[in-house]
């Protein structure tokens, strides 16, 4: 029981930290340009496979940039397909292959994380008392 509690606690902490960071990035990356998927990197570690890393190329003001993301744009099927890349107009190398019109998703993730932390602590306490 305590192992589940610990996992919920740690995941809750991650959600609480990551949600605001991603919300800010989504807000900063407000301009779109045409990009292309140029590579898919398969990854693995000693415990098995990790999510693939997608490498995108895009141009802003005649300068070519590349970003890597574990998120595949919903517009692509294969290497060479074009998609929209959202970037920060003040810092074009700050970009992402997706954009949420609403930041509600980040609020939901934050609330889930906030709930998971005390639930995890309760489960840790219950498991430790047995």
- Per-residue pLDDT tens digits for 100-110: 766 788 789 89
Q: What share of the chain is helix, strand, coil (3-state, %, to 5)?
A: 40, 35, 20
Q: Report the SS3 class of residue 83.
A: strand
Under the banding of pLDDT at 50, 70 and 90, the label for residue 125 is: confident
Taking the C-alpha atoms of residue 82 and residue 37, their distance in angstroms, rounded to an integer, is 6
- Per-residue pLDDT tens digits for 11-56: 999 999 988 877 878 788 999 999 999 999 987 777 777 788 999 9
List the domain boundaries for the chain. Answer: 1-28+101-130, 30-98
Under the banding of pLDDT at 50, 70 and 90, the label for residue 87 is: very high
pLDDT at 21: 78
The answer to whether the pTM exceeds 0.85 is: no
Asked if residue 122 lies in contact with residue 5, where contact means CB atoms within 8 angstroms, the answer is yes
pLDDT at 101: 67
Pairing of strands 91-96, 82-88: antiparallel
Q: What is the DSSP letter of 99?
A: -
Give the pLDDT mean for 70-77: 85
Diameter of the chain measured on Cα atoms: 64
Q: Which helix (H) or strand (E) holds 112?
A: helix 104-129
Pairing of strands 82-88, 31-45: antiparallel
In this structure, the number of other CB atoms found within 10 A of the CB of residue 34 comes to 10
């Amino acid at each position: 029981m305590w192992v589940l509690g610990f996992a919920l606690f740690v995941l809750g902490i991650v959600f609480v930290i990551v949600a605001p960071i991603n919300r800010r990035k989504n807000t900063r990356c407000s301009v779109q340009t045409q990009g292309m998927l140029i590579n898919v990197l398969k990854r693995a570690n000693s415990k098995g496979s990790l999510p693939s890393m997608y490498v995108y190329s895009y141009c802003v003001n005649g300068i070519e940039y590349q970003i890597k993301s574990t998120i595949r744009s919903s517009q692509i099927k294969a290497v060479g397909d074009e998609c929209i890349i959202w970037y920060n107009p003040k810092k074009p190398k700050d970009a992402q292959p997706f954009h949420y019109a609403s930041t509600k998703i980040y609020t939901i993730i934050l609330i889930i994380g906030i709930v998971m932390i005390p639930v995890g602590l309760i489960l840790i306490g219950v498991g430790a008392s047995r």
